[in-house]
Amino acid sequence: MTNPHEEECPNYMLPEFEEARLLFTVEGKTDEEAAALLSNLWDFNNNKAKLVWVREHAAEIEARQEEHERTEQEAGRQRLLREQEEEQAKQEERKKYKNKFAPIPNRPLPTTSLLLPSQHALNKLCKGEYVPLYFFTNKGIREAEDDGSGDEDLLTLVQTDRGPTFQTAASAKAKKHKVRDEQLSWEEFSQANYRMIAAMKQQEWPDERINMVRDFWVAFETHPWRHDPSEYRKRALLLYQGRVRRDWHKTLGTSAAFRLLPLREERLNELHQELLDNAYAAKIDAVPTVRALMRSCQTPKLTFSILLSTSSPSFVFNLRTLPYPHAHPDSVRGCRSTHAGFVWDAGTARRQPAPPLHTPIPPP
59 within a domain of the structure (yes/no) = yes
Q: How many domains does the chain have?
A: 3
Digit-coded pLDDT (tens) for 230-261: 999 999 999 999 999 999 999 998 999 999 99
6 vs 314: which has the higher pLDDT: 6
Structural domain ending residue among the three candidates 265, 296, 327: 296
Instruction: Judge contact between 341 and 319, C-beta under 8 A.
Output: yes
* Residues 77 and 133 reside in one and the same domain: no
Structural domain ending residue among the three candidates 281, 296, 311: 296
* Residues 186 and 266 reside in one and the same domain: no
73 within a domain of the structure (yes/no) = yes
Domain span including residue 173? 116-204
286 within a domain of the structure (yes/no) = yes
Average pLDDT (216-237) is 95
Average pLDDT (213-217) is 96
| Residues 167, 169, 172, 178, CA torsion sign | negative
108 within a domain of the structure (yes/no) = no
* Residues 129 and 171 reside in one and the same domain: yes
Q: How far is CA 350 from CA 184, 230, 289, 316, in A?
A: 31, 22, 11, 12
221 vs 300: which has the higher pLDDT: 221
pLDDT computed for residue 60 by the predictor:
78
* Residues 194 and 220 reside in one and the same domain: no
101 within a domain of the structure (yes/no) = no
Q: How far is CA 249 from CA 218, 225, 351, in A?
A: 19, 25, 48
Digit-coded pLDDT (tens) for 38-56: 899 999 999 998 888 888 8
Would the pLDDT of 109 be above 60?
Answer: yes
One-letter amino acid at 255 equals S
One-letter amino acid at 93 equals E
362 within a domain of the structure (yes/no) = no
- pTM, to two decimals: 0.52
Average per-residue pLDDT for the chain: 77
pLDDT computed for residue 18 by the predictor:
85
* Residues 200 and 210 reside in one and the same domain: no
- Listing DSSP states for 103-141 in one string gives PPPS----SS------HHHHHHHHTT----GGGGSHHHH
Would the pLDDT of 151 be above 80?
Answer: no
75 within a domain of the structure (yes/no) = yes
Digit-coded pLDDT (tens) for 74-93: 999 999 999 999 999 988 88
Least confident of 147-151, 168-172, 286-290, 341-345: 341-345
Average pLDDT (304-316) is 46
Instruction: Look up residue 189 and give its DSSP letter.
Output: H
Secondary structure class of 148 (helix, strand, coil) = coil
* Residues 194 and 178 reside in one and the same domain: yes
Secondary structure class of 345 (helix, strand, coil) = strand
pLDDT computed for residue 326 by the predictor:
40
Top-ranked range on mean pLDDT: pick from 64-73, 155-164, 209-218, 296-305:
209-218
Roughly what angle, to the nearest 10 degrees, separates helices 58-96 and 31-56?
Answer: 70
Structural domain ending residue among the three candidates 273, 296, 319: 296
Instruction: Judge contact between 343 and 358, C-beta under 8 A.
Output: no
